[in-house]
Amino acid sequence: MTSKTYTVTAINIKSINYGEADKIITVFTKEDGILKVIAKGVRRISSKFGARIDLLHCNRLFLTKGKNLDVMSQAETHVHFPAFRKDYDKLMQALYWAELIYVFCNEGEALPEIFDLFLNSLDILQKGTQMPLLYTLWFELKLLEHIGYSCNFTHCVSCERVITREIENFYFDLTSGGILCPSCQVLFKNIKPITRELYLTLRKLKQFSSNDISSVSINEKVEKNIECIQDFYQTYVCYLAEKKLKTISFLEDSKI
Ligand SMILES: [Zn+2]
């Protein structure tokens, strides 16, 4: 006899209201990747789920197989991130990460390493004392590496020549996700020039472990350029996603 209930560890990444009092919650689970589940009656004040249905909350979920969507029958907090409630910048970055997971990970495909990266990175962001954007850049680099879009910053992506730090003008090829040497850059059309500072920062960040990024301190020059670095990197992310992410538009609107 097959069990109609099962448990997963899941981070809430998206939710929409459904019917009179329900919500359809998209969760990123360690066991089954992305799942859409229905949480019944959770918009009523008397709901037993409370903050456990909030975005970015990580729960141990007890799910019952349903006809269309599986039903959330019980949720126990596994990890939560109270710092995001008090820090708008951190919250917005974390929601952007959740959208990256939604866009780049597939429904029903278990990606336990990415789950651990996401959960660990949320904790680093929650505790971090540096600009939230710095952690975002690191998270993007690591996420893309896990899903097969690892950026090559050490060798020319075309001729494989070693890229030395002495080169004056760097060009990033959006199609292959890497740096082009001066001889190859003329052969490619989908390229973006990047500054030396940006190149060195991305190269350094890519090598950082979670311990490195947790204890990192950045110099003033990098801090001043971090928005420009992230603008550049978001262009690459949107190119891969083949669309502009909703949270990016929201972040841009909130700057005005
Ligand atoms: Zn080359």
CATH number assigned to the domain comprising residue 149? 1.20.1440.120
User: 48 with 148, same domain?
Assistant: no
User: 122 with 17, same domain?
Assistant: no
Range of the domain at 152: 83-255
User: 48 with 115, same domain?
Assistant: no
- Which residue, 79, 110, 145, sits at the end of a domain? 79
User: 102 with 204, same domain?
Assistant: yes
CA 227, CA 35: separation in Å to the nearest integer? 33
Cα–ligand 1 centroid distance for 192 (angstroms): 15
Total number of domains in the chain: 2
User: 46 with 90, same domain?
Assistant: no
Cα–ligand 1 centroid distance for 228 (angstroms): 25
Q: For each of the chain's 256 residues, which pLDDT tens digit applies? A: 456 899 999 999 999 999 999 999 999 999 999 999 999 999 998 899 989 999 999 999 999 999 999 999 999 999 999 999 999 999 999 999 999 999 999 999 999 999 999 999 999 999 999 999 999 999 999 999 999 998 889 999 999 999 887 777 889 998 888 999 888 988 988 898 888 888 888 888 999 999 999 988 877 777 777 888 888 888 889 999 998 898 888 877 766 5
How many C-beta atoms surround the C-beta of residue 142 within 10 A?
22
User: 52 with 100, same domain?
Assistant: no
Prediction pTM value: 0.91
Cα–ligand 1 centroid distance for 202 (angstroms): 19
What CATH number should be reported for the domain holding residue 36?
Answer: 2.40.50.140
For residue 80, what are its two tokens? 């939560």
- Which residue, 59, 79, 99, sits at the end of a domain? 79
Cα–ligand 1 centroid distance for 218 (angstroms): 31
User: 103 with 72, same domain?
Assistant: no
CA-wise closest residue to 172 among 161, 162, 164, 158: 158
User: 71 with 89, same domain?
Assistant: no
Q: Where are the alpha helices (DSSP H) in 34-111?
A: 83-86, 88-104
